[in-house]
Structure 1
Amino acid sequence: MTSGTSGPPAGAAHSRRGPGSAVAVVTGAAGGLGQVIAARLHEQGYRVALTDLSGERAERAASALDPSGGTAVGLCLDVRIKADFERVRDAITARWGEVHVLVNNAGVSKAEPLMDITPESFSSVVSTNLDGAFFGSQVFGAYFAGRGHGRIVNVASLAGQNGGTATGAHYAAAKGGVATLTKVFARDLADRGVTVNAVSPGPLDVPAVYEIVGPERIEGMKENIPVGDLLSPRFVADAVALLAAEHAGSVTGACWDVNGGLYMR
């Protein structure tokens, strides 16, 4: 991708969505927040490709939305591998003709003490959270730019903004990188009809938070959140859907915070 171009390449199709024709790819969609995002987009009429490291789990999640496979499909995707994004792009365009939205949601966290994080653990967490956002934005960003229209929404994190280590310093570092990559891709792709934004959640009411924090500490966590409760994954999904909308072209390079008042700026 090269900055400074004035529009899509000569002869490129300027893709606009017809009624019921929008297609979205969501990474890490077999469970948790990714599954909620995929379900919300599907409710809004998108055809959705749910991708995950486990193709079997992705297929089950897709089948829960549409057993026929007409409007939801599950695919295996290792976000650490650029060629996997290219394979998914090609599979979905062959199936549904085009893609309009990419949601880079896939991530992994490990609650490890800062000084005990091994080089292998650091690389593994950063690769999934940061490399995945980079490769996804690179592959689909180029595809969208060639068509003259597209939406990329990255899932960042409060940890990447305030340096929180409850989910691991490697996770916080990677999510800080996701916020920066959002701006980098947004700047590069803005003049080609492609927006790139991020949503940055705090502690969500999802199983992973209960597993990391522990049931005995959840109430204490809620007390430390200004609004007094864990945060709604469905609202995060609504924010993603709004940034993914065709008429959302006025917003790019932004990071929308959903943290219950834990981090105000």
Structure 2
Amino acid sequence: MSRVALITGAARGLGECIARALHGAGYRVALADVQLDAVQQLADQLDPSGQSAVALQLDVRDKAAFEAARDLLVARWGGTDVLVNNAGKSKVAALMEISPEEFDEIVAINLRGTFVACQVFGAHFAERGFGRIINIGSLAGQNGGTATGAHYAAAKGGVATLTKVFARELASRGVTVNSISPGPLDLPVVYETVAPERIAQIKQMVPVGTLGSADYIADSVLLLAADHAASVTGACWDINGGLFMR
């Protein structure tokens, strides 16, 4: 039987790319998003029969929602093998103008969501003796951010730390936990929300001169999710065009 992967924030953008790549590689995919209609459309495109693709409405801030998703996938496909914590929310905001409520909202989606997902599915994977968790971080969590708000950068910095904490906790149980930290990506949502002149400025800042490929991020997820990727855990793969070098 093929492996089962749950991808959060799968309705569009990078999450959609990752979902398509996993399904194309033979995974049965659970596509989770707060917007059920959008993710249902993708599931229908991938497999109208529902045998290898299912849509789930899921708010990543809600631990009980992850528990329900875990139980549903146990009943439907016998369990889950791979978790991709992709859901997130970015917001441009002046540092001194971010309200405590705005800070809490962004941190809840980007950091709390990753934490509760790793708790629920980390335990599920440990019980099964196998699992792959891939957290989608951000360059902003490494360099403090240049085009995003401080709340987003802080949350993604927390994701990088949580990755190491869960990797250490679960390593002896056959479960790996890794993160990927993309820089600016070539995605439709970027061109919808960022002015053309700003995109040109961003490209000039990137040493390689181009925005990153979402498809390549998806390929990297496939590598980290592979059965023979057992020796990679607690790692952060930087894919940022040379903007941040260790």
TM-score, structure 1 normalization: 0.91
Task: Determine the C-alpha separation between the residues in 1 that align with 2:241 and 2:56.
Answer: 33
Check conservation: 1:144, 1:194, Cα contact below 8 A: yes
What is the identity, as a one-letter code, of the residue corresponding to 1:98? G
Task: Determine the C-alpha separation between the residues in 1 that align with 2:16 and 2:148.
Answer: 20
Task: Determine the C-alpha separation between the residues in 2 that align with 1:175 and 1:102.
Answer: 17
Instruction: Provide the residue aligned with 1:195 in structure 2.
Output: 176
Extract unaligned runs of 5+ from structure 2. none
- Give the percent of matched residue pairs that are identical in Structure 1 and Structure 2: 65
Residue of structure 2 aligned with 1:54, choices 19, 35, 55: 35
Task: Determine the C-alpha separation between the residues in 2 that align with 1:194 and 1:139.
Answer: 13
Runs of 4 or more, structure 1, over 6 Å off, are: none
What is the identity, as a one-letter code, of the residue corresponding to 2:176? T
Task: Determine the C-alpha separation between the residues in 2 that align with 1:227 and 1:212.
Answer: 23
Task: Determine the C-alpha separation between the residues in 1 that align with 2:176 and 2:78.
Answer: 21
Check conservation: 1:156, 1:178, Cα contact below 8 A: yes
Task: Determine the C-alpha separation between the residues in 2 that align with 1:161 and 1:227.
Answer: 19
Q: Does 1:123 align with 2:104?
A: yes
Instruction: Provide the residue aligned with 1:232 in structure 2.
Output: 213
What is the identity, as a one-letter code, of the residue corresponding to 2:127? G
Residue of structure 2 aligned with 1:70, choices 38, 43, 51: 51
Superposed displacement of residue 212, structure 1: 4.1
Q: Does 1:170 align with 2:151?
A: yes
What is the identity, as a one-letter code, of the residue corresponding to 1:88? A
Instruction: Provide the residue aligned with 1:259 in structure 2.
Output: 240
Check conservation: 1:167, 1:212, Cα contact below 8 A: no
Residue of structure 2 aligned with 1:84, choices 46, 65, 76: 65
Instruction: Provide the residue aligned with 2:125 in structure 1.
Output: 144
Q: SS at the partner of 1:107?
A: coil
Task: Determine the C-alpha separation between the residues in 1 that align with 2:189 and 2:113.
Answer: 20
Q: SS at the partner of 1:230?
A: coil
Instruction: Provide the residue aligned with 1:134 in structure 2.
Output: 115
Superposed displacement of residue 239, structure 1: 0.5
Q: Does 1:219 align with 2:200?
A: yes
Instruction: Provide the residue aligned with 1:25 in structure 2.
Output: 6
Task: Determine the C-alpha separation between the residues in 2 that align with 1:106 and 1:92.
Answer: 19
Instruction: Provide the residue aligned with 1:3 in structure 2.
Output: none
In the TM superposition, what whole-angstrom CA distance separates every residue of 1:8-60 from its partner, at most 9, and x where no partner exists? Answer: xxxxxxxxxx4xx2100000000010010000000100000000011111111
Residue of structure 2 aligned with 1:38, choices 7, 10, 19: 19
What is the identity, as a one-letter code, of the residue corresponding to 1:191? S
Task: Determine the C-alpha separation between the residues in 2 that align with 1:81 and 1:114.
Answer: 27
Task: Determine the C-alpha separation between the residues in 2 that align with 1:204 and 1:135.
Answer: 26
In the TM superposition, what whole-angstrom CA distance separates every residue of 1:85-143 from its partner, at most 9, and x where no partner exists? Answer: 00011111111112100000000011111111111110000000000100100000000
Task: Determine the C-alpha separation between the residues in 1 that align with 2:68 and 2:30.
Answer: 13
Instruction: Provide the residue aligned with 1:9 in structure 2.
Output: none
What is the identity, as a one-letter code, of the residue corresponding to 2:36? G
Extract unaligned runs of 5+ from structure 1. 1-17
CA RMSD for the aligned pairs?
0.9
Check conservation: 1:36, 1:237, Cα contact below 8 A: yes
Task: Determine the C-alpha separation between the residues in 2 that align with 1:115 and 1:43.
Answer: 45
